[in-house]
Chain A
Amino acid sequence: MVNRTTFGISAVQRQSLVISLTAFFTSLLLIALVSVLILISFRGTAYFWPEPIYMVTGTHHDGTTFSVLANVFDEPANEDVTLKYSDTEHPYGFQIQLSREEIDTSLLANESAEIKLLDGRRVLAIPEHIVVPSKPPQTLDKIDAIIEDVAQISAQIEELNTRHLASIHEALSQFDKRDVVADAPARERLVASFKEYQKRVEVLEKTRAEYTLSVSFADGAPFIIPISSIQDVDFVSRLSTFEKWKVVLSEVGVFLSDSPKQANTSGGVFPALFGTILMVFLMTIIVTPFGVLAAIYLSEYAPNTALTTIIRVSVSNMAGVPSIVYGVFGLGFFVYTLGGSIDELLFSETLPAPTMGSPGVFWAALTMAILTLPVVIVATEEGLRRVPEGLKAGSYALGATKIETIVRTVLPIASPGIMTGVILAIARAAGEVAPLMLVGAVKFAPTLPIDGEFPYLHLDRQFMHLGVLIYDGAFHSQTDGKSASMMFAACLLLLVVVFVLNILAVVLRARLRKRYLKG
């Protein structure tokens, strides 16, 4: 053994020093990863968690007193307490920060409720009673049934509007085009039925307007909310933990299925989730055959020359090109050049309004396909290289041609490698933001790229994307805490999407491996 007491560091010590250094940096990495996960999950789930409502009274520094119903965010580490409150002046919520000495009392307000409106806004108030037409005021326990009734009336109005009124309107405009005289009998019949339907709508709307919820604020001031604008009423302060989880679940449901409201600060993210998945799906359809065919050529057919090596190196390097460059390329080449030419050839009657010549989901998918192509090519080549030569020889020896050998033997065995590439590509595309904003992703898209209108899949439409939504939310969050938590929730969702895709891929790859490789 080396004498440990000599100057300097002995070999054994040197080794343990190296081990502890490497372990230290590994643990730093782990801490960074875990804190990202914890932060995102914590802040993300907080968006869904029902906050209890307090009756807060106090005196401002200038001597005026106040009394509000509020969610209280009191973190010992911060000097100030944040209140999100509703009162007569700000029925739909307002956020202030107060120092602790300004607050006199803060009591859990059991009677108060969080009233979520369909447009995404919230009112914190004490519900008093429900007004319904031609009946005495109803008690609060009937609120869910009444909301349901009103929703049915709204559905009737919607149907009258979209089915009947819209088609009559369409027919009338046809008459206008053909210069049918105003007093033609057919026209008069139409106008009459239009008025008839309109009257029905008016009657329904009037009835609907009579359903209201009377509430009061902390100072007793009354406030009236039409039932038709209410999505849900939660008495958050008196919910048990189990009931809170039920609220969380329904909130998650709304988050996943609803559209963003109030400039992407509340409501759901369904269009963004849908847009992300659709774009990734289209991209996968484009990039997989391209990448796999290119990799097959490079690894099975290309002669072993300097040119092939240059191509191979360039492909690997393409993976390192900044994504915004691809975005600019997509905009300049796909959207303007390619899309513009398509417009001139096929949609010339609508010019100068562009059809394909403007950013849209197809161009975004194509751009992302180009961006992720190197990943797929490199992973596929790796997979192809792993196919044992003996198996290829065995296939040739049975009379298979090169292409038959590739299709029947090489590709199945390389499929785990191909899967790996496609998954990496999907994860990359799902999280990319910058290039997408140039080629079709927008903060808010009024329509989905898929709907019931021919041709059902509208590749030319702009779309929403989770990454872009988060980017947008991050800007809002500088002024408003609420949208920050929406952003975190969207982040969490994006993580979940990528995680689920990865798990799927790992499982699929493991199954393919088990099937096609020795084991």
Chain B
Amino acid sequence: MLKLFEHNTLNVNDINKDQTAVEVKNLSLWFGNKQVLNDISMRIPRNKITALIGQSGCGKSTLISCFNRLNDLYDGCKYEGEIIIDERNINSRKVNVSRLRTNVGMVFQRPNPFPMSIYENVCYGLKLQGVKIRRHLDDAVEGALKQAALWDEVKDRLFESAHALSGGQQQRLVIARALALKPDILLLDEPTSALDPLTTLFIEELMDALKKQCTIIIVTHNMQQAARVSDYTAFFHQGRLIEYADSDTLFTMPEKKQTEDYITGRYG
């Protein structure tokens, strides 16, 4: 029911350069001596929802953290290979990481609103970029909260603490916070794992609405969720990309035995 725009889903091998939001080329990554990602290559299509699935520790969260270079925060993290976003290899040392991160938004597993007002949370990123004019900030806050379907619930208490919101509202606030920067790509790292089923459904609907504006990459443990919301799904196992296909194919006729075992719940 959610997938009204499904008719133009392509085979992953047919995604051309113009349709690609993120191109991963031979990416390997180590934490210290431990190899976490092993020679991953894939093209993630623009304005689609791509789900990354796999067991805990298979490297899928690490992979999306590569897309905004958040792994740089950890000591002893090394990587090689290329990640092309907007025709630039973001793994290059010359990349302005701050600017990259404003273009590639991220939402974490646990809602992490800052201990400030709702308003301050949403304009945190804009203020970092030096936006000071009150009217611009007001407009951006309203726009982002509307996109995140939170505006009606909080418009009367924008200056109250974000911690007074419920878990689901906090997660949408965090999404609004990322959307305020108008990112091209939105990374969702298990965004609903801490939420109840109804709120989860709400966020899923939100994702579907958002893919018109940005490419969404979601890490999830929930197979039904991946099947429900995503256009493409990639299955990872022990740091390797095992299978990558449009979601219908992957969940109905997986090519690899490993994938089939995982999605049918035989292990993992």
B110 contacts which of A390, A401, A413, A516 (Cβ < 8 Å)? A390
- Chain A residues with Cβ below 8 Å from B115 are 391, 412-413, 515-518
- Chain B residues with Cβ below 8 Å from A452 are none
Q: Are A399 and B128 in contact (CB under 8 A)?
A: yes
**Bound Cα distance from A345 to B58, whole angstroms:** 67
Given A400-B128, A519-B163, are A394 and B112 neighbors across the interface (CB < 8 Å)? Answer: yes
Q: Mask for B84-109, Cβ within 8 A of A = 1, else 0?
A: 00000000000000110110011010
A390 contacts which of B101, B102, B105, B108 (Cβ < 8 Å)? B108
- Chain B residues with Cβ below 8 Å from A404 are 128
Minimum distance in angstroms from B32 CB to a CB of chain A: 13
Q: Are A394 and B108 in contact (CB under 8 A)?
A: yes
Minimum distance in angstroms from A489 CB to a CB of chain B: 44
Q: Are B102 and A409 in contact (CB under 8 A)?
A: no
- Chain A residues with Cβ below 8 Å from B114 are 391, 394-395, 409
Instruction: Answer whether residue B125 sits at the interface, using C-beta atoms and an 8 A cutoff.
Output: yes
Instruction: Answer whether residue A304 sits at the interface, using C-beta atoms and an 8 A cutoff.
Output: yes
Q: Are B112 and A399 in contact (CB under 8 A)?
A: no
**Bound Cα distance from A517 to B110, whole angstroms:** 16
Chain A residues bordering chain B, tally (CB within 8 A): 24
Q: Are A393 and B70 in contact (CB under 8 A)?
A: yes
Q: Are B98 and A399 in contact (CB under 8 A)?
A: yes
Q: Mask for A83-122, Cβ within 8 A of B = 1, else 0?
A: 0000000000000000000000000000000000000000
Given A408-B124, A413-B115, are A396 and B73 neighbors across the interface (CB < 8 Å)? Answer: yes
- Chain A residues with Cβ below 8 Å from B174 are 394
Q: Are A398 and B124 in contact (CB under 8 A)?
A: yes
**Bound Cα distance from A404 to B128, whole angstroms:** 8
- Chain A residues with Cβ below 8 Å from B178 are 397-398
**Bound Cα distance from A408 to B105, whole angstroms:** 19
Minimum distance in angstroms from B184 CB to a CB of chain A: 14
Of residues 463 through 519 on chain A, the ones whose CB sits less than 8 Å from some CB of chain B are 515-519
Instruction: Answer whether residue A76 sits at the interface, using C-beta atoms and an 8 A cutoff.
Output: no
Most buried by A among B75, B110, B112, B125: B112
Minimum distance in angstroms from B194 CB to a CB of chain A: 11
- Chain B residues with Cβ below 8 Å from A408 are 124, 128
Minimum distance in angstroms from A412 CB to a CB of chain B: 7
Instruction: Answer whether residue B140 sits at the interface, using C-beta atoms and an 8 A cutoff.
Output: no
- Chain B residues with Cβ below 8 Å from A400 are 98, 124-125, 128
Q: Mask for A376-406, Cβ within 8 A of B = 1, else 0?
A: 0000000000001011111111111100100
**Bound Cα distance from A394 to B68, whole angstroms:** 12
**Bound Cα distance from A408 to B116, whole angstroms:** 10
B112 contacts which of A391, A412, A517 (Cβ < 8 Å)? A391
**Bound Cα distance from A24 to B203, whole angstroms:** 58
Minimum distance in angstroms from B12 CB to a CB of chain A: 27
B102 contacts which of A392, A399, A412 (Cβ < 8 Å)? A399
Given A304-B75, A393-B73, are A398 and B108 neighbors across the interface (CB < 8 Å)? Answer: no
**Bound Cα distance from A517 to B105, whole angstroms:** 24
- Chain A residues with Cβ below 8 Å from B124 are 395, 398, 400, 408
Q: Are A398 and B163 in contact (CB under 8 A)?
A: no
Given A399-B102, A519-B163, are A388 and B128 neighbors across the interface (CB < 8 Å)? Answer: no
Q: In terms of DSSP, what is the predominant structure of the interface of chain A?
A: helix
Minimum distance in angstroms from B72 CB to a CB of chain A: 9
Closest to A388 in B: B112
Instruction: Answer whether residue B181 sits at the interface, using C-beta atoms and an 8 A cutoff.
Output: yes
- Chain B residues with Cβ below 8 Å from A398 are 101-102, 105, 124-125, 128, 177-178, 181
Given A390-B112, A413-B115, A515-B161, are A397 and B68 neighbors across the interface (CB < 8 Å)? Answer: yes
Q: Are B106 and A397 in contact (CB under 8 A)?
A: yes
**Bound Cα distance from A473 to B99, whole angstroms:** 66
**Bound Cα distance from A519 to B115, whole angstroms:** 10
**Bound Cα distance from A304 to B70, whole angstroms:** 20
**Bound Cα distance from A515 to B120, whole angstroms:** 13
Q: Mask for A303-329, Cβ within 8 A of B = 1, else 0?
A: 010000000000000000000000000
- Chain A residues with Cβ below 8 Å from B102 are 398-399
Of residues 119 through 160 on chain B, the ones whose CB sits less than 8 Å from some CB of chain A are 124-125, 128-129
Closest to B187 in A: A397
Minimum distance in angstroms from A303 CB to a CB of chain B: 8
Minimum distance in angstroms from B178 CB to a CB of chain A: 7
Closest to B161 in A: A515
- Chain A residues with Cβ below 8 Å from B112 are 388, 390-391, 393-394
Given A390-B108, A390-B110, A412-B115, are A397 and B101 neighbors across the interface (CB < 8 Å)? Answer: yes
- Chain B residues with Cβ below 8 Å from A517 are 115
Q: Are A518 and B163 in contact (CB under 8 A)?
A: yes
Minimum distance in angstroms from B76 CB to a CB of chain A: 10
- Chain A residues with Cβ below 8 Å from B68 are 397
Minimum distance in angstroms from B171 CB to a CB of chain A: 12
Of residues 368 through 382 on chain A, the ones whose CB sits less than 8 Å from some CB of chain B are none
Closest to A304 in B: B75
- Chain B residues with Cβ below 8 Å from A399 are 98-99, 101-102, 125, 128-129, 181
Most buried by B among A398, A400, A412, A516: A398
**Bound Cα distance from A517 to B116, whole angstroms:** 10
Closest to B125 in A: A398
**Bound Cα distance from A392 to B114, whole angstroms:** 9
What are the 4 closest A-B residue pairs judged by CB atoms, nearest first?
Answer: A398-B125, A399-B102, A397-B106, A390-B112
| Apart from the given pairs A398-B125, A408-B128, 10 other A-B contacts in the complex at a CB distance below 8 Å | A390-B112, A393-B70, A398-B124, A398-B178, A399-B102, A399-B181, A413-B115, A515-B161, A517-B115, A518-B163
Binding site for A on B (CB under 8 A): 68, 70, 73, 75, 98-99, 101-102, 105-106, 108, 110, 112-115, 124-125, 128-129, 161, 163, 174, 177-178, 181
24 interchain pairs, CB-CB under 8 A: A390-B110, A391-B112, A393-B108, A394-B108, A394-B112, A395-B114, A396-B70, A396-B73, A397-B70, A398-B105, A398-B128, A398-B177, A398-B178, A398-B181, A399-B102, A399-B125, A399-B129, A400-B128, A401-B98, A408-B128, A515-B161, A516-B115, A518-B115, A518-B163
